[in-house]
């Protein structure tokens, strides 16, 4: 599932994960003015974040115990980053 074009809020992402609790793969193009990104999901297995040039993220928190694949691309950020996944391999 890919996000629609336009600005995506933190609330949209949280709502998406609540409405689709069995979602296993997300590709997000992160281009919004929020300074925080939270992703909480027990079923998510693959996450790709593509940070756009105008991203203002300062804090990323990912709580996904079944995540086995994480990728990021785009602008290099130096946010506070927390990733909690027992199945993710280095």
Domain boundaries, the chain: 10-84
The DSSP bridge partners found for residue 72 are 49
Q: What pLDDT sits at residue 88? A: 76
80: three-class secondary structure by DSSP: strand
pLDDT digit string, tens, across residues 9-30? 677 778 888 888 888 998 887 7
Q: What pLDDT sits at residue 67? A: 92
8: three-class secondary structure by DSSP: coil
State pTM to two decimals.
0.74
Lowest mean pLDDT among 5-9, 11-15, 85-89: 5-9
pLDDT digit string, tens, across residues 31-83? 767 778 888 888 999 999 888 777 778 888 889 999 999 998 887 766 677 77
CA distance 30 to 85: 21
């Amino acid at each position: 599932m890919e996000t629609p074009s336009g600005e995506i809020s933190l609330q949209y992402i949280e709502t998406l994960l609540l409405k689709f609790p069995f979602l296993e793969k997300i590709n997000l193009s992160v281009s919004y003015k929020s300074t925080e990104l939270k992703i909480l999901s027990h079923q998510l297995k693959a996450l790709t974040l593509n940070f756009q040039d105008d991203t203002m993220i300062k804090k990323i928190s990912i709580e996904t115990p079944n995540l086995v694949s994480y990728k990021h691309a785009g602008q290099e950020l130096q946010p506070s980053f927390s990733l909690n996944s027992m199945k993710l391999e280095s």
